[in-house]
Amino acid sequence: MPNTVEIRKLDPHDPLPEGRPGRVIVLRRFDEDDPRKIVTEIELTGPPGRSEAVQPVRADGTGMSLEEAVAAAQKVAESEGIGQVFVLDRTDGRLEHEIIEHAGDHSFPGKPLDDTDPEDGETGPDMRA
């Protein structure tokens, strides 16, 4: 009988789960270099020193939807003997929907966001600036 993998959907602003090795996380987020683009990643963390993150693609090379990535992550979890897949959609909050409606622009009126990253020399609410 195959392992049953529990799918646990987290809220958009929940922290990434930490703790013991052996986690599979599906993360959907705005791209760091182009906030108009949304990326989906599957992260597998195993024994100490093992961590892999991939952007899952279909056979034709196009990116998977969130649902497809969750199904792929479930297969990874089953093959690794991991009982849970955490799903975290960073684009699913109310404010994030407004950002999507503004083509990834984080600086629309009335909603100032601080997206400053001094380590990368980036300042202001929109990293494209």
Among the listed ranges 5-14, 27-36, 82-91, 94-103, which one has the minimum average pLDDT value? 94-103
pLDDT of res. 127? 43
Residues 6+ apart with CB under 8 A from 15: none
State the chain's mean pLDDT as an integer.
79
Q: Which residue has the higher pLDDT, 115 or 13?
A: 13
DSSP structure class, residue 122: B
Neighbours of 8 (CB within 10 A): 12
For residue 26, what are the β-bridge partners? 42, 87
Amino acid at 11: D
Q: Which residue has the higher pLDDT, 122 or 33?
A: 33
Is residue 129 pLDDT above 50, yes or no? no
Residue 117 CA to residue 35 CA, distance in Å, equals: 14
Is residue 97 pLDDT above 60, yes or no? yes
